[in-house]
Amino acid sequence: MSDGHYSERDLLRELFPETAQVIYGKAGSPKPGTLGLYTVADTKLALVYGAQLAEFTPVPPRGTSALHCDLCHYTRSRSEAAFYRVQVSPTLTRYVSLCLETEHCQRRAGKSGLKAFAERIFPIEQGYVE
Ligand SMILES: [Zn+2]
């Protein structure tokens, strides 16, 4: 799974130092096969799947229609969910809607739901990151 140059932790530290601190700061060593969605920097979400990481940046809300959560598949009001954008390549940005209460959301989705979601997001092309 590793490319031999970077460990998951190194990669994360380099690309998203704030996220790495949240995920690994207190926990010690990362476990292989890590899968989880974490709140970082108050409003962002970081999706970690093995050595891959995606950062979700909230998009200012437009309109008032309900959102369909892409992870737990519940329909949420605008106060319960938000749009996030994730840069998957230099030229491609994806948008997803996710519950704000990510812990509850992940519990509803379960491990298999989170895995299916991660498989829709990854792979992320990170070649443009210096
Ligand atoms: Zn949800």
Distance (angstroms) between ligand 1 centre and the Cα of 24 equals: 24
Is pLDDT at 30 greater than 60 in this prediction? no
Residue 98 bridge partners (DSSP): 82
> 3-class SS at 120?
helix
91 CB-contact burial (10 Å; exposed 0-12 / middle 13-18 / buried 19+): exposed
Residue 114 near residue 71 (C-beta atoms within 8 A): yes
Task: Answer yes or no: is pLDDT of 47 > 90.
Answer: yes
Sheet holding 35-40, edge to edge: 35-40, 44-49, 52-58, 81-89, 92-99
CA 1 to ligand 1 centroid distance, Å: 29
pTM > 0.75: yes or no:
no
Lowest average pLDDT, out of 31-35, 46-50, 91-95, 104-108, goes to 31-35
Q: How far is the CA of 103 from the centre of ligand 1 (A)?
A: 9
Q: Confidence band (pLDDT; 50, 70, 90) for 61?
A: confident
Q: Give pLDDT, residue 40.
A: 86
Amino acid (1-letter code) at residue 21: Q
DSSP secondary structure code for residue 83 in this structure: E
Residue 30 backbone phi and psi in degrees, to 5: -70, 145
* Cα(106) to centroid(ligand 1), Å: 7
